[in-house]
Amino acid sequence: MGLLDDKVAIVTGAGRGVGRGEALELAAEGARLVVNDAGAAVDGSGGDKAPADEVVDLVRARGGEAVASYDDVSDWEGAARLVATAVDAFGALDVLVNNAGILRDKMIVGMTEEQFDSVIAVHLKGTFACTHHAASYWRSQSKAGAPRRAAIVNTVSSAGLVGNVGQANYGAAKAGIAALTVISSLELQQYGVRANAVAPGGATRMSSGVVAGRAEVKNPEDYDDGEFERLNPANSAPMVAWLASDAALHVTGQVFKAVGDEISLYRPWHVEASVKAPKGPRRWKPAEISNAVNTHLFGTRNGGLTLGGGA
């Protein structure tokens, strides 16, 4: 018995790297799969059916069920066809793993409009488009009295949650996906849908171009339990499978990091400290802000003795 027996799942960007590991993990846990990959290069150019087909063949060779999809998730109609593929092939949809992405790294002063827009389109718009069409299906099922215990698992990155030089487009997209994850969890809970996100890590085609000296681990499934490789991009896949399963019905609106043998929980933006205008309530004067912020928010200067509640 697998955690995902009787579940139907879509994994986007599933032909290589992190997505390939996720697809194989979900299949190993019993999910019937739509393996989506447009087969593009890291920068989004070109197209090749071979990556998706190869993963489908691997799943079937291991006794699982899978079909391929080559749709571009950044295309609105393509995302709709992807969801329809799952329903047509397997009669349902329970899990959506949004993983597809490209890179076009440049410093802000050198980045073109097209380089920014193309990365936002695949990562952020692609995640939204697939989520929209899947959510429409789940809403219809709920209204028909047959709600699914459904799950969305989005792919984020520390480049967006912490920041990384040269990745304004990618980081902005990933930070947006984290926010979209939280909002999806709030809006879709009424239909029985959970939404969470995972920041994976590992040596992939994409990361090998960002981190000097990092070679791609091309076939994550080749590593067995006796040969642990921290940079294997499939290491995050068990967390994705768990979040997709009914074992995690209590988990939604969360953002995790899963790298190597470690799972971490990100805390969202929150108010850490605050200071009010002195002798208020009233509007601040700009000249007052420097001392107040440096003293009470940053703690970079001594505020001195204060009496009577003054600042």
As annotated, the active-site residues are 157, 170, 174
Q: Give the whole-angstrom CA distance, residue 234 versus residue 275.
A: 45
Cα angle for residues 278, 281, 283 (degrees, 5° grid)? 80
Residue 8 neighbours by CB under 8 Å, 6+ apart: 31, 32, 33, 34, 86, 90, 91, 92, 93, 94, 95
**What are residue 107's DSSP bridge partners?**
none
User: What distance, in Å, lies between the first and last C-alpha atoms of the chain?
Assistant: 63
List the one residue out of 89, 83, 90, 118 whose CA is nearest residue 104: 118
Q: Give the whole-angstrom CA distance, residue 185 versus residue 87.
A: 22
Q: Is 202 left (phi over 0), alpha (psi -120 to 50) or beta?
A: left
Q: Give the whole-angstrom CA distance, residue 208 versus residue 160.
A: 18
The strands making up 255-259's β-sheet, listed across from edge to edge, are: 66-69, 32-36, 8-12, 95-98, 150-155, 193-200, 255-259, 262-266
Q: Are strands 150-155 and 262-266 parallel, antiparallel or unpaired?
A: unpaired
Give how far Cα 26 sits from Cα of 230, 234, 240, Å. Answer: 20, 11, 8
Q: Give the whole-angstrom CA distance, residue 53 versus residue 64.
A: 14
